[in-house]
Amino acid sequence: MAENLHEITDANFEQEVLKSPTPVLVDFWATWCGPCRALAPTLEKLSQDYSGKIKFCKVDVDHNPNNAAQFGVRSIPTLILFNGGHPVGQLVGNVARQNIEALFSKTS
């Protein structure tokens, strides 16, 4: 996994995402998901480009189903942007980089 992507579990989700002082983009994904794998390089590049501004996290829904269920994730990949401990935007599917960047405007 890329240096700026953090693997999150149900156990550390609250600390790493909800209590984060910076906005957090969470990628709910699974290893068997083709669109998730296709989206990964885009997220890796964004995590480098927005380093220090937005925290990028990944949650494997097969091993950590609780938070996916709590936030209504029904399809993967699902990206949810959290700011101040609350979800402020969501995208579903292998979306384009510009769509993800447009989501970041919800943090200001």
**From 33, 43, 79, 100, active-site residue:** 33
Task: Return the CATH number of the domain spanning residue range 5-107.
Answer: 3.40.30.10
- In the residue annotation, 57 being an active-site residue is answered as no
Listing from the earlier edge strand, what are the strands of the sheet with 24-29? 5-7, 55-60, 24-29, 78-83, 86-92
What rounded mean pLDDT belongs to the chain? 94
In the residue annotation, 36 being an active-site residue is answered as yes
Catalytic residue among 5, 8, 25, 36: 36
Q: Give residue-wise pLDDT tens across range 29-74.
A: 999 999 999 999 999 999 999 999 999 999 999 999 999 999 999 9
Statement: residue 86 has pLDDT above 90: yes
Q: Residue ranges of the domains in the chain?
A: 5-107
